[in-house]
Amino acid sequence: MSAAGQSSLMPVEEALRRLLERADATPVQGRETVILAQADGRVLAQPLIAPLDLPPWPNSAMDGYALCLTDWQGTPLPVSQRIQAGEAPPALQPGTCARIFTGAPLPAGADTVEMQENVTLEADGRVCFAAPLRAGQNVRPQGQETRVGDCVLPAGTRLGPIELGLAASLGQAQLEVCRRVRVAVLSTGDELVEPGEPLAAGQIYNSNRRLLIAWLQRLGCEVVDGGILADDLAKTRAALAALNDVDLILSTGGVSVGEADFLGVALREAGELMLWKLAIKPGKPLTFGQFRGVPVIGLPGNPASTLVTFGLLARPYLLRRMGVQRVEPLGVELPAGFTWSKAGQRREYLRARLEGGQVVPYANQSSGVLRSAAWAEGLAEVREGTTLEPGERLRFIPLSELLG
């Protein structure tokens, strides 16, 4: 690997830091209470504090026999009761044991469970414990998982199947969540038409709109579909002005250097414009600013650039505005299954998949080729100024980390 060269481009970390700083300063206000069935994908607005112990009472981890350990002196014990899950047993009679099943409450007086495979039954039904017993074995004590008052999930937790299961285990029928973030999606470009329309000469179908809307919905956002915006300053102004009740305007296209940048002009006139040249490939140009107080992110228009910049920058920004603290995707270090001989100034995110435990990039890494990402399982990060030989490790970010 060689050292990173000098570059006037903004490092990805720096762009992310600035975006998150802004997101922290403008958290989305408002909460609502939703039933668990509607809470998947939402963000917890206040900590979930355990209202009960889990388990609420000591219970058996095995199908077997419950006893008080000191009652076992080598003489077989008679079975005085049978306890199944869902029952509330009376106290254990001294000098006896109880037939017990997994999840059933331990009767008062019992402190130990032996699994049924380790006992022998006398002809008269009394139980002989063969193996040495340890007090408390196979017993799940009250509060083993959670105690009343524990903070089980902090505010800002994104709720998924696991969190919902946990909330249910604590008897929560509903949860207080942050209101959905409203995001307007604008696709800029005179060349764009929607699927279903005929394609005239010079036109292409709008892929970013569908890509972003579906993705935003997965992130739990409420989407305002701004449709296609012509490359025209007056229309750009009007479109931005109409989107005054959203938390973010997300546009694609029209931010390439050298192009008449109508979004930039409109932001400069009536808000704030930061035009960043990022050390990222694909996706160098990124616009960040606000129009009459509404934050705006302008992503580059090439679909693979849209994908990478949304996933690595806009997604964490949005999550942070929802109050989520851990917003960066997990990456794993994996061996390269390719050679990278030219150290670049920009950090490259190759659309790649795993083959035989190695990271293999799609053959065509052009920023216009969305098919690369459909083939891929993740983004392979080739840091600025580095070369790679097969077997050298690089960070691989599974797409599943970004898409949800």
List contacts with ligand AMP (CB under 6 A): 187, 189, 191-192, 204, 206-209, 252-256, 259, 300-303, 368
Q: Pseudo-torsion of CA 371, 375, 379, 383, nearest 10°?
A: -70
Q: Pseudo-torsion of CA 295, 299, 301, 302, nearest 10°?
A: -160
Q: How far apart are CA 213 and CA 251, in angstroms?
A: 11
Q: Which two tokens stand for residue 354?
A: 């795993």
Distances 82 to 74, 105, 199, 383 between C-alpha atoms, Å: 22, 11, 75, 64
Lookup result for tokens 């305002």: 224
* Residue 112 touches which of ligand AMP, Mg ion, none (Cβ within 5-8 Å per kind): none
In the complex, least distance from residue 63 CB atom to ligand AMP, rounded to whole angstroms: 60
In the complex, least distance from residue 168 CB atom to ligand AMP, rounded to whole angstroms: 41
Number of residues that bind Mg ion (CB under 5 A): 3
Which residue minimizes CB distance to ligand AMP?
A: 301
Q: Which two tokens stand for residue 243?
A: 């989107």
Q: Pick between residue 299 and residue 380 the one whose CB is nearest to Mg ion.
A: 299
Q: Pick between residue 157 and residue 287 the one whose CB is nearest to ligand AMP.
A: 287
Site for Mg ion in 262-291 (CB under 5 A): none
Q: Pick between residue 70 and residue 256 the one whose CB is nearest to ligand AMP.
A: 256
In the complex, least distance from residue 268 CB atom to ligand AMP, rounded to whole angstroms: 18
Q: Which two tokens stand for residue 175?
A: 């949860």
In the complex, least distance from residue 231 CB atom to Mg ion, rounded to whole angstroms: 6
Q: Pick between residue 100 and residue 192 the one whose CB is nearest to ligand AMP.
A: 192
Site for Mg ion in 198-257 (CB under 5 A): 253-254
In the complex, least distance from residue 271 CB atom to Mg ion, rounded to whole angstroms: 20
Q: How far apart are CA 297 and CA 282, in angstroms?
A: 17
Q: Pick between residue 89 and residue 254 the one whose CB is nearest to Mg ion.
A: 254
Q: Pick between residue 14 and residue 259 the one whose CB is nearest to ligand AMP.
A: 259
Write the binding mask 160 to 199 for Mg ion: x where contact by CB under 5 A, - elsewhere.
-----------------------------x----------
* Residue 252 touches which of ligand AMP, Mg ion, none (Cβ within 5-8 Å per kind): ligand AMP
Q: Pick between residue 103 and residue 368 the one whose CB is nearest to ligand AMP.
A: 368
* Residue 68 touches which of Mg ion, ligand AMP, none (Cβ within 5-8 Å per kind): none
In the complex, least distance from residue 219 CB atom to ligand AMP, rounded to whole angstroms: 19
Residues that bind Mg ion (CB under 5 A): 189, 253-254
